[in-house]
Structure formats: structure tokens, C-alpha cells
Structure 1
Amino acid sequence: MQRKSFVPGAALVAAAALAVGITGCSGGSTAGGGSDDAKGGAAASTQVAEPGKYQTLPEACRLPVRSTVRGMLPGDGQHLSAQEAEKIYAGQADVTYNTDRRVGCHWKRETTAGTRHLTLDIQRVVSYDSTVSDDDRAKEIYTKKELAAGIPADGDTPSATPSPSASESASKDGDEEKDGKEKDKGKAADKGVGKDVDANAARQDGKAATDGTSSPSASKSASPSAAGHTPDPSTASRTLDDLGDAAFLDDALATADSGVHRDITVVFRTSNVIVTLTYDQWSTDKTRVPESQELQDKAHALATELADTLSE
């Protein structure tokens, strides 16, 4: 994956230290020289946190392999023209103001049996605190997402539905990280950046979407038992130990009046990049509940593919 050239943070620190040293040597010996040297030495010894591994982001719509997208958006036997297939499988990129900080893409296919949506949101985290690394800042944001989703720790039983305030906290944190100091620089800021437009529209009646991911408090509000479905412990929401530096999977079933749909969300962090993948199936027949296993398997396979690609 091609990336733009950049100057690593460590090199910038070294250059700054060298400049301070040169300035101190050229000042000569004066009555205040001792004080100046002390200040210069203090500045040179200040440690600055290392920048994250990633300095740019790939094009989100081109990241998944086309065959993988086809498998996640199956049809109902109807023939697609080349133009129709291109429109569905190419995806639609999210509008962002800084593609080095956040990119996204969404796909949608409607059939007689229902509709499937696939959304991808990729955020490159940058810490504006010189004492906090990009990776550590990304860990903080990821942890808040995991807590807001109510993901149980290993060995624990699933927790109760998280409060709306928890979801709002994670959303606000993501917005603050996304905007950062760009506001101070007079750049345009759009709080809707990175959200999936089609998925949001489809969810307006049944659930809210937060930062490109489904809101746990909304999507889990309807009881699966209302549709005669008993959750399978083996496919319950959980942490994943085979994706990036940290990952979790959230499985939510909604049986509200707006429609029956199952939403799978996979979030993983690799260094200072956080990837959020959402995959949902809406059923036209409200008596047929979308099963977890197929949706989880496909979402997990795509997440693995993305993690492998990003690590190259």
C-alpha cells in the first residue's frame, strides 16, 4: 500500500534538539549564558511521544477485495447488468475533509428477501499531547467504544445494555479526536464525517447510528425472544484475540415495528488506526430472524482481510 512520504516524529525531535544546541553555542559567553544553557539543556532533554505507525490512510472503497464484497451482498437470483453490479460492489465513499485522518465507504443491496448493508469507517488517531503517543490515544478511544458497546470481559457474562450516556461519551470522544486542533487552524469541521449515510437512513426508524457504528442502546432495545429466537452463547458479543492489537464483535438483533434486522459490528485497533466494520441484514419477512453465524463469519473474514492489508 502506497503511503505519502513523511518525517517521523523522532527525526523532528532530533532536528529541534540540534537547533537548540547550535543556538546555545553561537551565543558566546555572557553573564546570562549559564541560564541560557540550562534552558537549552532542559528543552533538549524533553521527551516527545513517538508518532503512530500510520501517517496516511488507504481508499476505503478499494480496500476490500471485490469478491469479498460480492459474497457479503448476495442476490436473489436476478441478473445484474454490468452497470448495476459496478454501482453495488464499487461502494460509495463517505465525504470527509481530511482523508489522511478519516475515510469510509458503504455498500447496499436490496433483494426480495430483504436488504444488506456493509459500512467501513477507518480513523487515524493523532495525539495532540506531546507526552501521549498516538498509539496510547488510540487505545483510549478504542476502550471507550468497547465499553459503550457493553462488551463483556473474557469469562464474564454479557453486561446489561449500556446507558445512552456511555455511547454519547464514545461518540463525543471520537468527534474531538477527529477535529483535534483543526478548528484552531480555521479548517472546516463536519461532525457527520465518517458516518454511513445509507445505513443511517435505513436505521432512522429502528435504531440510531453513532460514529459509523450502531448504537447498542437502540439496536439491543428489542428483545430477541419477541421473535421466538434464543441467543446462542457461542455467537454472543465478545472480544476477539486474532485481529490487530485489540478487537471486539457486537451482535445485536432488533425486532421493532420498523423491521427485523441483525447488526454485526467489528471494531479493531492496529497501532494508531481504528477500523469499524458494520454488517447488517434486514428481513422482509418479520417472522424470519437473520441468523448470527453467517453474518458473523463474513464480517470476521472481512475484518481479518482488512487487518492483513493494513499491516503490509
Structure 2
Amino acid sequence: MQRKAYVSGVAALLAVLLAGCTGSSDSGGATDDSNPGDSGTASATAEPGRYRTLPEPCGVVGEDTLDSLLPGIQQLPDAEQQEKAYEGTPTLTYDTDRRIGCRWKVESADATDHLLVSFERVVSYDTSVSDDSEAEQLFATKQEAADLPEPVSPDGDAGTASTDPSAGGGGSGSPSGSPSPSASNSASPSVSSSTSPSSSASTDDAAAAELQPRVLEDLGDEAFLDDQLAGSGSTAQQRTVTVAFRTSNVIVTIEYEEQPATVGAVPDSEEMQDRAQKLAAQLADALAD
């Protein structure tokens, strides 16, 4: 009986020692997990984007603006056709909470005009990346795909950019499609001695450079414009002006196309760009409200 008591006492002592070791380990674990700074950093999430909804795309463009962009509306024979033209057609989408758009198409005696306005609300599924940052990366990819030419330097180095066939406006030295000054001068019986051909060409190059595809300032958080001319002088030439901008986590894209009814006619670049930019400014203001 005494031997059993001794064995039981040893076992009890070992149990106490083991319990002490275990308590020390638990205590150390609690100390490691008690750093609130590390825990807070790990659980932090990025800020959500400003926009949780999108506007109704076919109702965001006013009738006065559509009259400017689609002049053929006023040539439609009756009020019912005009009303239908103003309404536009919603683009096919499977998630109206994230991507929406509207199309308009109007034919007239002079040209066929198309307009597409689309909105994309970007949401990041990575809690460490904000919606704005995700939209910024997506917009950068969109701008890179547009392959904008290098900006023209202010020292007058505009000839290469404005006459490159791969540049916007179909590569014409005059994106608006108007004859070059040299051609006009050659047809004229007399040319003022104060204007040299080289100075006229420089002026034409500078004007063309202002209309080339480019980054836009003062429109949303970032924006760009692209201008492409398809076709040749022997066929109907179609010009497409694209204006895209980002405001917080929403990306807006405007595609404005015109194809004249007359073969060889060239849609006016400056006029189309001006109309598209005015619409973009209106949409940016609408999103800001």
C-alpha cells in the first residue's frame, strides 16, 4: 500500500509540471496575439467607390444634344418617328447594376449618324484594392488599347504626328478633311508674297495636331479622345470619334460615328470632336450632381 501511494505522488507531481509547461505556452501565445497594430492592419479593407448605382442611359442625353449630334432627327417626316429616334435603344446587358448603355441611329439625306453612350461601374473583389484603384487600372488598359500618338511638343515638332497614316483622323494632314493650304494656293492665280508655303504648312500641321487623338484635361478624373477615319476617297468614309473618361469608379464611353451619303465626302473632325466633348462634359456634370 505504501508503494502505491508513492507512485501516485510521483504521477501527481508530473501532472503539475506538465500543466505548468502548458500554461507557459498558452501565456506566450496570448502575448503574441495581443498586438493590436498587426491585427488591425490585416483586417483593414479598401474604401468603396463613390457610385453604387448608374443613371438611365437612354434618358441621360437631352433632346437638344441629340439634335446636334444627330441632325437627321429634324428631317424625319412625322412626330412619332422623331419620338422613337429620341428614345434610343438600350444595349444588351446581363447586369444593369454594373454595365449599361444606349444607342441611337439616324439616317438623313446628308449622312448616317450613330451615337453610343455606355457606363461601367467598377467594383473590386479584392478587399485590399479600392474600387477607384480598380477602375483606374481598367481605364489605363482602355487608354493603352486606343494607342494614342505621342503628344506634339510645343516647339513646333507637329509634322510627324499629324501626317502619320496611323494617327487619328485617318492620317490626313488635315483631320477635318479640308484641302491643304498648299493645294488651295496652287489653284489660286496669285499668292501673297508674305505667306510662304512652309509657313502655311506649319500652320496646317499645328491645326491638325490639335485634333489628333490625345489625353483630355479637365474632364472627370482622367480622359482621352480618339479620332479614326475609315475608307478612302473612292468610297464613303466613316469617321468615329471616341471620348472616354473616368469619375471615381465609373467609366463613361461615348462613340460618335458619321458616314456621309456622298462618296468621297469626309466628315468634319473638328465639328464631331466638339460635339462629343460637349456631351462628355454634360455627362460628367450629371454624375457629379
Specify whether residues 123 and 107 from structure 1 end up closer, same or farther in structure 2 by C-alpha distance, changes over 3 A only. same
The alignment partner of 1:58 has SS state of coil
**Alignment-derived partner of residue 233 in structure 1:** 209
Conserved 8 A contact 2:67-2:74:
no
Identity of aligned residues (%): 41
Asked if 1 retains the 8 angstrom alpha-carbon contact of 2:47 and 2:130, the reply is: yes
Contact 1:72 1:298 in 2 (8 A): yes
Instruction: Determine the structure 1 residue equivalent to 2:81.
Output: 84
Q: Secondary structure at the match of 1:88?
A: helix
Q: How many Å apart are 1:88 and its aligned residue?
A: 0.7
Find out whether 1:292 has 2:275 as its counterpart: no
- Structure 2 spans left out of the alignment, 5+ residues: 1-24, 181-204
Cα displacement string for residues 142-170 of structure 1 (whole angstroms, at most 9, x for unaligned residues): 111111112235445649788xxxxxxxx
Deviation at 1:39, TM superposition (A): 8.7
In structure 1, the gaps of 5 or more residues are: 1-29, 163-215
2:221 maps to 245
Q: What is the SS of the residue equivalent to 1:289?
A: coil
Aligned runs of 1:16-95 on 2, under 5 Å? 31=26, 34=30, 37-38=33-34, 42-46=38-42, 47-75=44-72, 78-95=75-92
Using a 3 Å threshold, how does the CA distance of structure 1 residues 76 and 130 change in structure 2: closer, same or farther?
Answer: closer
Corresponding residue of 1:268: 245
1:131 aligns with 2:128: yes
Distance 1:76 1:69, change over 3 A: closer
Q: Is the contact made by 1:223 and 1:254 (CA closer than 8 Å) also made in structure 2?
A: no
Note the 1:123-202 alignment, pairs <5 A. 123-155=120-152, 158=161
Which of structures 1 and 2 has the bigger CA Rg? 2
Cα deviation for residue 44 of structure 1 reads 3.5
The aligned amino acid for 1:252 is Q
Q: Which one-letter code corresponds to 2:222 in the other structure?
A: A
Relative to structure 1, the CA distance from residue 294 to residue 271 in structure 2 (aligned partners, 3 Å threshold; closer, same or farther) is: same
**How many pairs are equivalent?**
227
Which whole-Å CA distance do the structure 1 matches of 2:236 and 2:113 have between them? Answer: 13
- Considering fraction of residues, name the structure with more helix: 2
How high is the TM-score relative to the length of structure 2?
0.69
What letter matches 2:231 in structure 1?
A: T
| Cα distance between partner residues in 2 of 1:259 and 1:36 | 74
> What is the CA-CA distance between 1:40 and the residue it aligns to?
8.0
